Structure 1
């Protein structure tokens, strides 16, 4: 299948967004790998991933900018423009929307949808829940078809309070979020309780080497598992290991695409 692109009609955009939403199935979660440039996205698509996200850390690090500081609005939109017409469904990590003004966040979402993006991830950064809810409402109004994944950072950078997590997520789904995201949540019992509380609202968690594996998350009823910045960090780590191996006179290990294979990603 192809991305929605800028030149397609409303029906094509709607069908793409619907297809993305339908990939969120409790017990059969969408595994969402996250790209940081054209090559990484197209290589993942070639491996059979129908939907691909972006990683805000990868976008920020590649540009020499801080992640989570609302500094990469232009870079994020530029990547969305590059990938929005690709042969996959694209969801963009938009940090906190790059503004505290809900109308500005709504306008950014409209720009994303216009270039073929079908989903957006918005994080609350533990700011006021009512402000984040207002952003979600603004996004739904400005880009009605965009799948809104509302993230709370209660477990990622907060104290991991389950009641506070529920309070925030309830506010976000009431504001119109299609799905909710709780990175840092890894305890199986809490994941199962949250799935039960949310009902038919898809729960997204972040894959963690210390947490449940994908089959276990499926058994718990999770609907989406994001890889976040993992692939970007692994790619960077592999590059450093290869450089060290060559310097030490060793042959670098691991898989290495050929020059021709990588070049073909740009065709």
Structure 2
């Protein structure tokens, strides 16, 4: 059984900056790592490969230094790594990203029974790419997957988290799963895995290689755009009541509630 895992390179820090003109993240000079939820998706795929045989392919879109993240994926058990990298892809929103990835999968004839990706990335927090990509590839998709219950040659059964409960979904293969961290706990790379990763070939393709128009991706091909970035300002008029002033504080709260009830304040 073959598995395709989408991985993304994200900043390994919370100190990110946004370009005020383009509205995109400034990635130069930042330490990077594999998106945390993608590492859980990778572990799920590798563990399933070990049980069922087959292969794991990792696919990413990003700048050339994403190669390091892909080598990390090979060290952790992936068999093939593919990078889609082109200056024309810079600034792509979730739709343009999904379109480029879909073209790459189709053009490169990447065969898979199950596509797995993290529910969202730490730099974007949109949770859209997995679902959009599955739609473009005409695949059934299940989001917020917290546990894989069963996997056969024909279908996958998963537990899907919804607020304070869960649902059990069954989907025919091939399918796409957008997973949460509870699906699998990432392993540490072995020395043998690291040696394999050092010698592994990372396949690199550009927009021309996958046959996509440069106007369809990047900022030009993105229907959504950040038009303004600013820091919020919070103004508070706060008084803390403690110890002997507690009763006074309670009376103050009761007075405010009555004032709102009577329409004296909005």
Q: TM-score, normalised by structure 2?
A: 0.29
Larger radius of gyration: 2
Compare relative contact order (CA 8 Å, sep 6+) and give the higher one, 1 or 2. 2
Q: Normalized per residue, which structure has more strand?
A: 2
Q: TM-score, normalised by structure 1?
A: 0.29
Q: Normalized per residue, which structure has more helix?
A: 1
